Homo-oligomer: A and B are copies of this chain.
Amino acid sequence: MTVRNSLLAILAEQPTHGYGLKSSFERNTAGLWPLNVGQVYTTLGRLERDGFVKPWGKVTERARQSWKITAAGRKTLTDWFESPVEDRPRDELAIKVLLAIAADSVDVREIIHRQRVATMERLQQLTRAKRKTDPKDDLSTVLLLDLQILRADSEIKWLDVCEQRLRGRRRRDTL
């Protein structure tokens, strides 16, 4: 529901037309998550169907149709903002590693290693980007860098833990 709710959040500020929603979304997320503009229109259609937005304003010469959030839409949005993100959607990394451990025909250490290398490279890139940051930069850019760095960091820590525990298991197996 992330895209849906994001559009509602932008519309809650002011009525906006399709392309404007795309731009707003990308501006707010510092261009990190590009949004195919086609998706804006499909999503708007679904939001209208569900009564969360309605067409707004003159569909004049310039044809751009603006959309306005409804009371029901505001309710949904408030609920979204008020409820913490806490479901645990299937985590691809975790599942991959666990299945690799379970499979005897797969070299788990190799997989962990590859992941580790990729994440460390990413971490370096991010760190470099953050160093280049200056206080005048967009708050969102900086916060997203912070988040990505923290995430990459915890990922590497976990991969280390995996290796340790695997070594532990192997030692026990060979005893």
Binding site for B on A (CB under 8 A): 2-3, 5-6, 9-10, 12-13, 28-30, 32-33, 80-82, 84-86, 88, 90-106, 111, 114-115, 117-119, 122, 139-140, 142-144, 146-148, 150-151, 153-154, 157-158, 161-162, 165-166, 169
A33 CA / B101 CA spacing, docked (Å): 17
Q: A-side binding surface: helix, strand, loop or mixed?
A: helix
Q: A6-B99, A80-B96, A102-B140 are in contact. List 17 more A-B contacts (CB 8 A).
A: A2-B90, A2-B95, A5-B96, A6-B95, A12-B103, A13-B103, A29-B95, A33-B88, A84-B118, A85-B96, A91-B147, A94-B144, A97-B143, A98-B143, A139-B169, A143-B165, A147-B158
From the candidates B3, B122, B143, name the one contacting A162 in the complex (CB within 8 A).
Answer: B143
Whole-angstrom distance from the CB of A47 to the nearest CB of chain B? 16
Known interface pairs A29-B98, A154-B153. Does A12 touch B105 (Cβ–Cβ under 8 Å)? Answer: yes
- When distances are taken between beta carbons in the complex, the residues of chain B under 8 Å from A86 are 118-119, 122
Q: Is A106 a contact partner of B81 (Cβ separation < 8 A)?
A: yes
Q: How far is the CA of A3 from the CA of B93 in the complex (A)?
A: 12
The reply to whether B150 and A158 contact each other, CB–CB distance below 8 Å, is yes
Contact yes or no, A103 B154, CB < 8 A: no
Expressed in whole angstroms, the Cα–Cα distance for A5 and B90 within the complex equals 12
Which residues of chain B have C-beta atoms less than 8 A from A85's C-beta? 92-93, 96, 115
